[in-house]
Every structure is written in structure tokens, then in C-alpha cells.
A and B are shown apart, each in its own frame.
Chain A
Amino acid sequence: MADRSVGARLAGQRVLLTGVTGFVGQALLQLLLAEVPEIRLVVLVRAKGSESGEDRFRQLLGREIFTGIEGDADSLLGDRLTVVEGDLSDVPPLPGDLDAVVHCAGDVSFDPPVDEGFRNNVVGTRALLERVRQIGDHVHYVHVSTAYVAGRRRGFVPEAPVDHSVDVEAELEWGLAQRQAVEHRSRSADVLAGIRAKAERQHSRAGSLSVATATEEKRKEWVRQELVRIGGERARSLGWTDCYTFTKALGERVVEEHAANAPTSIVRPSIIESALAKPHPGWIEGFKMAEPLILAYGRGELPEFPSAPDTIVDIVPVDHVVAAVAAVLAAPPRAGAPAYFHVATGARNPLSFGVLYDAVRSYFDAHPFELGDRGAARLPEWRFPGAPAVERLLVTSERAHRVADHVIARAPRSDRVRELARKLDQQGRRLQFLRRYLDIYREYAVAELGFDDANTAALYDGLEARDRAVFAFDPRVIDWPHYLAEVHCPAVTAPLRQYDEVRKARGRRSGAPRPVAATAQPHAAAFFDMDGTLLSSNVIETYLWLRLQELDGHARFAELTRIARRVPGLVRAERRDRGAFLRSVYKEYAGARLVDLDAIADEVLSGHVLARLAPAAVRRVREHRAAGQPTVLVTGAIRPLTRPLAPLFDHIEAAELAVDDRGVCTGFLAASPLVGESRAAWMRQWAGEHDVDLAASYGYADSHSDLPMLEAVGNPVVVCPDVALFRHARKNRWPTVAWASPGATGRTLNPAGDRR
């Protein structure tokens, strides 16, 4: 009797694999190289950047899972492996002697933009099949799909074509056209106005160019989200859970057309997770479907899940999937009768959410995450209250977050507010994470699908005894609690634990900028903002210092009342546009004699200013001077106010009050106030004139309106920032310092610091 083993049946065959850089593709490649010595493989690898497809593939062969394979990359590439550089968007001609093709490339994201979904799962498949047909009708085509092409059905799902009557061509045409349509729509006045209004609320103080940059970024993001939303809506309207399963199902239709004349198999795995045994227990590449949730649970950030404890979650280890694919590959059906295989566990070894939860929980109970220095994370206890309750919880949290965010963005700056903002942002990221994953998984979490796997079982039973060990895909061998707690969870948590070790070893980032001396560079300068950075004051306060000097008791009260009434309007102006705000305050100087202002500044203001100076700021200025770097004060405050600080700076760029021929202030400025983007422009000009390298220079500022100034230099340092700048600084990892100015209480500085 002939050798009916998989190895023997595939011996001498030449098989094309797509998607070998992916999770399943890698596992399949490894399995075939290791267990089917006489197979010859062709791999389709895309070039990426400057790396050719072959370079990328060589790197892949260098990975740990391929170490057990005999022969190095060179010898393998010579005899058994051929790299064809190419892409599913433009499939190159394939070698004419192919016997089979395994297509496991494709987008694995559940919420791709609709056009990408179609391009990857329908157009790509069709292009590949085109090339396959050029070789001949004898080529066995194995299509790796997903069990969830069944969509939002309930109950038993047979190993058969999905029952639907969607017009593939019409949907394809529509889907591909969406990119352009949405791009066009994103540029419409209505959409842009909305986006720009949002960007202005956040960035108007930094200037219109910053708003424009932010608007364009937001527009691109809007396009992406819109494409995702459109795809998801269309999918749900036709009975699928999401764009991924929808386009996969349409992809199967394309394959089925091909199957009319050629031997074709469709393998539909359910949720693929880490390997049970091969190449080694727990092997996994990248994060798949359940990992983010497992990790979030271990960090204590997943308070509930919208499923019932008895719902079946269909997980299958990757080695079972690729073993099944190999077996399918060795058993081509006849043309015109495509074979379907569900590689799933639900039918013969079901795993319920309850068991999954218990196993994951017991794993983290035994091996908790020790994140940071706060000890083990507290594990939430799931009560499985049902999807609507979880949704309500999430919606309430999101609403609370929005309210808190609104409040915090308007709160006066302080260490406490910044700490609250940091926590709020963290909370916001968690909520976003929950929203995204719960939205994606909601359907899967409540899916009550039973995937029939009779074909797969029969295939397995038909294997020779030896092959059943090598190409193991009998789900009944999986001991779920063991697999989850001993194999899967350790594997998926390992990278995070490693990262945590690294972070601990590195120590807490102090967030402080490096000392000037250690980084001193020639041609560097240091640019400082004044109000809020060097000292605690603002233009209204300084106006009052100047103005109240010349008034008696009653007039002082009247003036204070008048200014107090203007404050709400000024605060609004300040939030909108710093330049307009300064102008409206400086109008108050109309009628004052500039000489008097200078005199008052020298007599009275220097005390006010110096008493509010942050000592650490002065120290930093002096360090720059000591390092031989010019120090520059760039401020929107009026010139007389900067007089006490003159000895600290090589150059002071301040607002000049315009005066008439009698030396009386007109209430206008001699030039536009130096705020927002004009600061950056001025700095570039000044740097050019003084042979200063801005990339090596330092900038110190406190407010979101100073963003262009900070972005203009290579070493931005954020000083006691407002919430908007604080967020920006955290995102860009800019050093943040808290230069304490003496508090209002007697203008003294607490030697022990404010926080105990």
C-alpha cells in the first residue's frame, strides 16, 4: 500500500505560501519546513522601504522558531525555498510548476477602513487567483478564511458556503470608491468647519499655523474613522459583525467562483491563539485578539465583560490551525467541489467564558503584574452582568470623563491640576481601549455560534497514526485551564513583564532636563518666556501694580472693580487668542507717560517682579550664561516690566508701547506682540543674525500659546505648564520642570517644597 502520510503526499510538490511574515504564515512555514522535508516552497514577500522581499524573508528565517530547521538561510533558499517579491495589490507572475497555493495573507484587523478591507480580502484574493489560473486548473488552492464569515447567525454553522445573496461586484465597486468619496467629503466646507472649530478650541492660542496643522491631522483621522464606520455599518446592514468578516465572506465567494474549475479548499479557523505544542508551547507573534483583553485584565483595567459566563468562546491554538492546513494541502478535493474545514474547538471541546475567566484570573492570582512600584495590580471581579449593563457602565464613564476633561482643561494651572490631568488622560486611554475592544468584541462575545467541524474531524481521522502526532489538530486534546494558565497567559504576558523589568532597571524618569553644563554646545542659546515661566505674574496683575501706584484709596477701589468686571471677558479672550488678549489689556495703558512707567518699574515693580522670581529659573538662566550661551527673554509683557531682569539676559524682546510725540502711551503697541507663532519666527530671525543653532538651543515656556516657541528649539523645557501644554509635553517626552515661584503668602518659598 502506498505511503499515504502527509509528508509522502506532499513530497516533491511545489507550494506557494502567502502571508509568511504573518502569524499563521510563519507557523505554517515552520511546520512544512520541519515536517515535510521534500516539499519545495515559494513564498510571496512584499518589499518594505529599502528592504527587498528576500532581505525581509532572510530576517524572518533568522527568528528563533526556525532554529530547529536544518540548513541555514542560504542553503534553504537554494534548494527548498524561493522568494517571489510581490504584493497582493500587484501579484507578480508565479512560477509555472506550482502544485498548490496556500493563501493566508490578509488583513487581520477587525475594523479596517472599508476600502482596505475590500482590497485585502477581495481584490487581493482575486488577483492571486488570476495568477493561479494562468498556471493551470490543476493547482490546489487553499484559502485561509475565518469561521466568523458566518456573520451574525446564531447556532449551528455548517462547513459549507455562507448563505447570502450579496452582489459581490456591486459591493466591491462601492467599497473601493469609498476612499475617494470620503476624502472628498472630508474636504467639504461643512466637515472642515467642524474639524477646524475643534482644532481651534485646542490650539488657537498657539497660532493659526498650529491650528492648520492640527486641522489637517484631524481631517486625516476623520477620514480613517469614517471609512471604518462606513465599512462597519454596511457589514452590519447585511448581517455581518464587522467589515473584516464581511469582506472575508465576499472573498470566499470569489474563491468559490474559482473553485468551479479547480481543486479548492477553504479553511476557516476560529479565534487563533498561541501554540499548544509547536514550535513550542505558547509561541505567539504579536498581539492577537484576546491578548489585549488578557493584559488589560491583568493590569486591573477591565472591570467587566459584556458576555455571559456560559457563552462559548471559540479559541484554537495556532499549531492546530497550521497542522489542519497542511493536512488539507495534502488532500486536494476535486475541481468543482470545494472542501470546507472549520478549525474550531466549540463543537468538540467547548470553552466557556466562565472557564476562560477563571483560568485567566487564577493565572494572575498566582503571577500578578507588579507594575511600577505599587505592588500587584488589583484584579477586578467579573459578575457578567450582561452586555447592556456593561455598555451602560462604559457610557456613564465616558460621559463622566468628558465632563472632567472639560473642567480640567479650564482649571487654573497647578501641580494638582496637572496630576489630575495625567490621571484623567490615563483613564481616558483606558476608556478608549475599552470602547474600541468592547465594540469590536461585542458581537463575538455574544455570538452563539457552533461551528460544525465534521469535515475537519474526518480529515484528522483519515491521517496515518504517525501524522496524527505530527499534524495534531484534534481539539479534544486541549485541557483548557492548563492551556490558558500554563501556556497562553505566560506567553502573552512575557513581553510586558520584560518591558517592566527594563523600566524598573532604568528607574523612574525624573522628567528634569539635563544640566546645561553636561550638554553645553557651541552656538546654542537659551530662550525664556517670562510670565509664568520665570515668575508668577500675568499682564493684568502687572498692569494693576503699575496703575494702582498713582491712585489713591477710592480711585484704587474703583479701578479694581472696573478691572474685576472685565476679567471674565479677558479670560475668554486669553483662551482664544493671546495676541488679542494682550492688545486689549495694553489699551489700558493709554494716557500713561512711558517715562513714568519706567520710573515706577524701577522704584516699585522691581520688588514685585523679583519677589515673584522662581529661584530655580534664575539658576537655570545663570547656568546657560556660565556655559557661554546667550540668554534671551522673549515675552509679550511690556518693556518696562522686564527692566529688573535685564542683567540676566543678553537680549530682551518685549512688547513696546507706542507713544505719541509727547511720550504718552497711545494704548497701542509699537509692533505686534510677540506671541504664538510670531515668537518662533522672531527666534529664527534672531538666531540667523547671531549665528545661533536653534536645534542645539533651549526654550523654556509655560503655556500652550508658547508651543511654537518650544517647537522651534531642539531642547524644549516645559515649566509648570497649563493642561494643554502638559499633555503635549507628555506626548512628546519633553522635560517638565516645576520652577516654584514664591506663593502669594508673603512671597516666600517653602524650603521643604509644597508636597509632603
Chain B
Amino acid sequence: MSRPGFVLEVDDRTPPLVVHEGQGFRLEEFPLGTRVIYPPESLPAIDDVDAAIREALLEPVDQAPLPAQLRPGMRLTIAFDDVSLPLPPMRAPDIRQRIIEQVLTMAAEAGVDDVQLIAANALHRRMTPAELRHIVGERVWRSFGPQGLLYNHDAEDHDNLRHIGLTDKGEDVEINRRAAESDLLVYVNVNLVAMDGGHKSVPIGLASYKSLRHHHNAKTMVRSHSFMDHEKSHLHHSAWRMGRLLKEHLNIFQIETTVNNDVFPAPYEFLMKREWEWSVKDQASVLAARRALSVAPRRLKHKMFHELRAPYGLTGIHAGDTEAVHERTLATVHRQQLVEVDGQSDVLVLGVPYLGPYNVNSSMNPVLATCMGLGYLFNSYRGQPVVRRGGAVILYHPLDEGFNQLHHPSYVDFYDEILAESTDPAVIEAKYEQQFATDPWYIHLYRTSHAYHGVHPFYMWYWAAHAMDHVDEVVWVGGDRRAAARLGFRAASSFADALEMVSGTVGTSPSITYLRNPPHLIADTR
């Protein structure tokens, strides 16, 4: 049995602790009394993954077994999560590959020959053939890729979108036409964190801008407390309404998987261990890694980190009705990630790692770093935020990684032109979102190149809206000053300086909580 997560209180025997900062990490000595939240250790993985998959498909929740839903002449579409999940990418074979292979086998046995596979990338960038191949595996790729039956969803291909209707709150539901007009839509998900899955899969992953704008906006995000908790997330409420409407029109066979916390492969396992338990070998690895990172050129560091493939173990797989499946999935996710935390603190410390959902094989630009820190990491709570309202967030990231011009062209303009005007999510949304969302050049790049949609940087900014609304101070330790200023924040050269800078808001001896993430955790704040 693995150890549960726990909250360490820093005392004089506590060694310096790992804090992630982009393509590197530092060892930080926190003030005495700082609470450090450690995620639970990895849950034991399922040994026979193929058997577990088969079982899930044959004994789904609240639905007939998959083979019973397959018949010759039917139209079958398999949609799956894109490259943004899991993080880091899973060591081959990807769990989606193993599921899709079994689904396809069953379909073949049932004589289904109209099968298409769609990556549910919504407004994310088109995946490259290599990335698709990594997710679905060589066999599936060879059978479907060259024939054009395995492709990325195109949210701007209006001929291939279908408007399903409006929810009771008047929200447009518009998704991929092929998926919408299939006799059965099988969705294969990787539920890495609590926000994934459920009705977020189909109604969002296969949607168009017209549909997404109803929940991907500043107002909704400010009111999603947090978006890691679908019951309290306005984003998810909207997605759920859409999902329920979709369910009336479409048969969806939802397959959700959960993985454990084995995110770092050898020789980086020390990053998942508690520092005082480091063996001599771990300490040697730490030393070697720090030395190497201090001298490695940027390109090499990028390669070192982005070529990491996580040796995730499968902790659960459930299939069938979306909501019933998701309930079971969340229970597993919480078992792996939930840590009880007693009360809020004045200061929240977050180390922003090298990777987020939108810079796989790309770079963590300042907008993405903000989204990662103030969006994903800040929202990793249930109940109430770890930091009190009006408190301070101290983030670690150099903010110097730059923009990948191929993947994030609209981000560059967003950073150079929009953030220079305003950093208020509501203002930005009202004044500029339409312009970026309908810009023909961005749409061209989204559709033909590997660019995120023009509106995507706005979503990143909305993702951070709840945090910006909740806290009074945001300081980046080690961050580039000009980049931090452009984002509307400040930069400090050390943690001590950052504390000094926020002392006007939280006093000179604030209570501090450090979320030691990754591996993923959810602070269950009472």
C-alpha cells in the first residue's frame, strides 16, 4: 500500500526542498513553519492492463457491453484525448493505444467497417503524424492514418461541424459532424487530473469556438472554484448541460482511465521522493542533474526535459455512461491526488515545471507559464483555495523560454499587443477576443499548420482569472523582470526578496504553504 499525501511543517531538520522552475529545479530553504503539501505516493498499478480494458469494455457502467452496441454497417467514431494529456507523455505504449486496439478488434469482429478516429483537440494545435502515432500506436496509425481516417478535429471546418441545439441556458452545442452523426461515439480519455473527463471530453474536445465561448470566458472562470472540482466549477456546469443535451442525440461510450503518480522516469525518480528520504544515489543524481542543468545550453535542456516519457501505471479504467463512469474515475483520481490541508495560508508557493498541457514538444512561454501557475496549480484545490483571499502567490519560473512561433503565433501577438494594453481578463475578453478568434490568418494557421487557435491565449488568460481575482500579489522568483511586468506581475531574485515584496499585503511573518507539485496533487482545504 502506498503512503498517503501529507503536510510537512518545515523545521530546523528539514533539508532544502525541490522547487520546479521551468527547465530545471532549485533546492529552496523555506522559513520555519512553512507547510509543504506532498502528494500521496503512487498507487499500485494494474498488472494486467489488457485484461482490465477488456473487462471495462465488456462490463460497462450503466450501458450495454461494447460488442453488443456494435453491428455491421454502423458508423463508428473513436475520439480520443490529444497530446495535452497525460503530462508528461506516457511511455509507449500509450494507454489510449491499448484501448483503441481492443475497441477496433471488437468492431472488426462485429463487422463494423465505417470507422474513423478523431483526435479531440478542440482549439489546440493539430498534432503531427508522429504525435498521433505515439498516441494510437503504429498499427492503428498504419491502418487509418494514410487513408485519412485518423485525423485531428478541425473546429473551423464549418462544413464538418454540426449544431446540435441550445442548452436550457441558451448555450450553443456544436461539435464535429462525423462524431455527431455516428451511431456510436467511443471516447477514450486519460483522466490525469480532476478537471479532465466526464462531459468535458466530447462537448469540449470536439466542439467549435461557437460552443466553447459559452464556458471559456473570464466570468465563468472567475466563478469556477475550482475548475478541478466539477461540482463547483461553472465551466463544468456548462459542459455538463451540453453533455446532457448531447446525450439525447448521440450514443457516447465513454472510456476513462486514471494513472498513478509515476511521472518521472529514471534517473529522475528523486523528484518524486521526499527530500529527507533521498538515498546516497538520489543525492548523487540531484547533484549531477543540477550540475548538468547549470551548464547545459538551452536547447539541450529542452531536449532533456521534453524527451522524458512517464512510466505511468494504470490505476483504473471505467467505461459506459459518461456521468457514472466519471464518478468512479474521480474517486480514483482523488485517491491518488487528494491531500487534506487544514485551513488557508497567507502565501502560496508554486513551482511551475517545464511542462503544461499546451507546450508538449514546444516551449513554455510566459502566457503559458501564467496559465500553468495561476491556472492549473492554483486551482489544484477542493473546498477552498490554499491561499486566503487577498493573499499572495509566489511562483518559480524564469519566464524566459520564449514563444514557439509555429505552435503559438497568436500568443506572440497577444503578449506583444494585448497584454501591453491590459492584463485584466474581462477587459481583454470584451475588447479583443472576437478579433483574435475570427482572424483569418490565425484560422489558416490553426487549420493548415500546427498552431493553436487565435483565441487560445485568451483562454489561457481566463484560466488564471480566478487566481488573479482571489489574490492581491503575484511574484515570480527568478522570473525575467520585463516579462513579469508585461504579464502585470513582479519578479524577485530570491524567495526572501519575494516575501519582502509581498510583506505589505501579508505582513512580515505570513503563513506559507508550498504545493510540492508535480507529481499532481489536489489540496483538500478545510
Are A610 and B406 touching (Cβ within 8 A)?
yes
Closest residue of A by beta carbon distance from B406? A611
| Interchain CA distance A743-B298 in the complex, whole Å | 12
The answer to whether the Cβ of B189 comes within 8 Å of any Cβ in the partner chain is: no
Beta-carbon contact of B450 and A747 below 8 Å: no
Determine the residue in chain A with the shortest Cβ distance to B482.
A752
Residues of B within 8 A of A613 (CB): 405, 409
Which residues of the other chain, A, contact B404 by a CB distance below 8 angstroms? 611, 742, 746-748
A748, B297: Cβ atoms closer than 8 Å:
no
Query: What per-residue 1/0 map shows which CB atoms of A720-756 lie under 8 Å from chain B?
Result: 0000000000000000000001100111111111000
Q: Is the CB–CB distance between A742 and B403 below 8 Å?
A: yes
Q: Which residue of B lies closest to A647 (CB)?
A: B444
A565 lies within 8 A of chain B by Cβ: no
Chain B residue at minimal CB-CB distance from A646: B444
User: B323: CB under 8 A from chain A?
Assistant: no
Contact with A along B300-314 (1 / 0, CB 8 A): 001000000000000
B401 touches A615 (CB 8 A): no
- A618 and B449 contact, CB distance less than 8 A: no
Given A610-B445, A615-B412, A615-B413 in contact, is the A749-B402 Cβ separation under 8 Å? yes
CB neighbours of B302 from chain A (8 A) = 745-746
Q: With the chains together, A546 CA to B363 CA distance in Å?
A: 26
Residues of A with C-beta under 8 A to B417: 619
Are the C-beta atoms of B444 and A749 separated by less than 8 Å? no
A607 touches B441 (CB 8 A): no
Structural contact, B366 and A745, CB atoms closer than 8 A:
no
Beta-carbon contact of A610 and B403 below 8 Å: no
**Shortest distance from the beta carbon of B152 to any chain A beta carbon, whole Å:** 15
User: Within 8 Å CB of B482, what residues of A?
Assistant: 751-753
Main secondary structure of the interface of B (DSSP, over half): helix
A750 CA / B450 CA spacing, docked (Å) = 20
Interface: B241 (CB within 8 A): no
Neighbour of B402 across the interface among A622, A647, A742, CB < 8 A? A742
**Bound complex: CA A615 to CA B480 (Å):** 21
Q: Is B440's beta carbon under 8 Å from chain A?
A: yes
User: Is A644 on the interface with B (CB-CB < 8 A)?
Assistant: yes
Is B363 in contact with A612, judged by CB distance below 8 angstroms? Answer: no
Q: How far is the CA of A253 from the CA of B416 in the complex (A)?
A: 74
CB-defined contacts of B448 to chain A, threshold 8 Å: 606, 644
Q: In the complex, how many angstroms separate the beta carbon of B361 from the nearest chain A beta carbon?
A: 10
Contact indicator B298/A615 (Cβ below 8 Å)? no
Query: Which residues of the other chain, A, contact B451 by a CB distance below 8 angstroms?
Result: 610
Complex contacts, A751 vs chain B, CB 8 Å:
365-366, 399-400, 402-403, 415, 480, 482-483, 486
Contact A607/B413 with A622-B441, A647-B440 known, Cβ cut-off 8 Å: no
**Bound-complex Cα distance A398 to B388 (A):** 68
- Measured between beta carbons, the chain B residues less than 8 angstroms from A212 are none
The residue among A615, A647, A747 with the most chain B CB atoms within 10 A of its own CB is: A615
Asked if A618 contacts B365 (CB within 8 A), the reply is no
Q: Looking across the interface, which residue of chain B has its beta carbon closest to that of A741?
A: B405
Contacts of A644 in B (CB 8 A): 448-449
A window 621-642: CB within 8 A of B: 622
Q: Is B13 an interface residue (CB 8 A)?
A: no
**Residue pair B441, A647 in contact (C-beta under 8 Å):** yes
B299 at the interface (CB under 8 A from A): yes
Is A648 interfacial (CB-CB < 8 Å)?
yes
Q: Is the CB of B449 within 8 A of A606?
A: yes
A442 to chain B minimum Cβ distance, whole angstroms, is: 52
A606, B447: Cα distance in complex, Å: 12
Instruction: Verify B297–A745 contact, CB threshold 8 A.
Output: yes
Closest chain-A Cβ to B460's Cβ sits at a distance in Å of 14
CB of A409, distance to nearest CB on chain B (Å): 30
| Cα of A122 to Cα of B405 in the assembled complex, Å | 71
Nearest CB in chain A: distance from B103 CB, A:
29
What chain B residues lie within 8 Å of A748 (beta carbons)? 363, 365, 401-405
CA distance A599 to B480 in the complex (A): 42
Residues of A within 8 A of B402 (CB): 742, 746, 748-751
**Docked CA distance A601–B448 (Å):** 12
Is B409 in contact with A610, judged by CB distance below 8 angstroms? yes
Q: How far is the CA of A745 from the CA of B299 in the complex (A)?
A: 6
Distance of B331 from chain A, by nearest CB (Å): 40
Asked whether, in the complex, the Cβ of B406 is within 8 Å of the Cβ of A746, the reply is: no
Q: Is there an interface contact between B441 and A618, defined as CB atoms closer than 8 Å?
A: yes
Residues on B with C-beta less than 8 A from A606 are: 448-449
CA distance A753 to B399 in the complex (A): 12
Bound: A748/B368 CA distance, A: 14
Per-position binary interface string of chain A over residues 576-615, scored 1 when its CB falls under 8 Å from any chain B CB and 0 otherwise: 0000000000000000000000000000001100111101
Task: Judge whether B483 and A648 touch: CB under 8 Å.
Answer: no
Nearest chain-A residue to B364 (Cβ)?
Answer: A748
| Minimal beta-carbon separation of A611 from chain B (angstroms) | 4
Complex Cα distance, B329 from A444, in Å, reads 97
> What 0/1 readout, one digit per residue, does chain B (417-448) give for beta carbons within 8 Å of chain A?
10000000000000000000000110011001
Min CB–CB distance A755 → chain B (angstroms): 11
Nearest-CB distance from B296 to chain A (Å)?
A: 12
A242 and B419 alpha carbons, distance in the complex (Å): 65
Chain A: which residue is nearest B487 at the CB level? A751
List chain B residues, Cβ under 8 A from A648.
441
A607-B450, A610-B449, A619-B413 given; A749·B441 CB < 8 A = no
Tell me the smallest distance from the CB of A237 to a CB of chain B, in Å: 65
User: Smallest distance from the beta carbon of A749 to chain B beta carbons, Å?
Assistant: 4
Report the bound CA distance from A305 to B402 in whole Å: 52
C-alpha gap A733/B145 in the complex (Å): 55
Is B298 touching A745 in the complex (CB atoms < 8 A)?
yes
Q: Which of A742, A748, A751 has the most CB of B within 10 A?
A: A751
User: Could you say which residues of chain B place their CB within 8 Å of the CB of A753?
Assistant: 482
A571 to chain B, nearest CB (A): 25
The CA-CA distance from A619 to B439 in the complex, in Å, is 12
Q: How far is the CA of A647 from the CA of B412 in the complex (A)?
A: 19
Closest to A742 in B: B405
Could you tell me the distance between the alpha carbons of A106 and B412 in the complex, rounded to whole angstroms? 64
Evaluate contact between B299 and A749: CB separation under 8 angstroms: no
Q: What residue of chain B has the Cβ atom nearest to residue A748's Cβ?
A: B402
* A619-B413, A647-B441 as given contacts; A749 in contact with B449, CB under 8 Å: no
Q: In the complex, A753→B480 CA distance in Å?
A: 10
Closest to B480 in A: A752
Smallest CB separation, B305 vs chain A (Å): 11
**Most B CB within 10 A of own CB, among A745, A746, A748:** A748
CA distance A745 to B363 in the complex (A): 11
Residues 77-127 (chain B) with a chain A CB within 8 angstroms: none
CB distance from B397 to the nearest CB of A (A): 12
Distance, CA A619 to CA B415, complexed state (A): 13
Within the complex, the shortest CB–CB distance from A743 to chain B, in Å, comes to 8
The contact string, 1 if C-beta is below 8 Å from chain A, for chain B 343-370, is 0000000000000000000010110000
Question: Mask for B168-204, Cβ within 8 A of A = 1, else 0?
Answer: 0000000000000000000000000000000000000
Q: Which residues of A contact B441 (CB under 8 A)?
A: 618, 622, 647-648
Q: Is the CB of B409 within 8 A of A607?
A: no
Question: Which of B299, B413, B445 makes the CB contact (< 8 A) with A746?
Answer: B299
Q: What's the least CB distance linking A610 to chain B, in Å?
A: 5
Query: B419: nearest residue on chain A (CB-CB)?
Result: A751
A533, B306: Cα distance in complex, Å: 31
CA distance A508 to B444 in the complex (A): 39
Chain B residue contacts of A619, Cβ below 8 A: 413, 416-417
- Cα A59 to Cα B401 with chains together (Å): 64
Chain A nearest CB, measured from B480 CB (Å)? 4
Residue of A nearest to B451 (CB): A610
> Within 8 Å CB of B363, what residues of A?
746, 748
For the complex with contacts A746-B404, A751-B400, 10 further pairs of A-B residues with Cβ separation under 8 Å are: A607-B406, A610-B409, A613-B405, A615-B405, A745-B298, A747-B404, A748-B402, A748-B405, A751-B480, A752-B481
Give the A-binding residues of B (Cβ under 8 A).
297-299, 302, 363, 365-366, 399-406, 409, 412-413, 415-417, 440-441, 444-445, 448-451, 480-483, 486
**Could you jot down 10 A-B contacts, CB within 8 Å?**
A607-B406, A607-B449, A607-B450, A619-B416, A647-B440, A741-B405, A747-B406, A748-B403, A751-B415, A751-B486
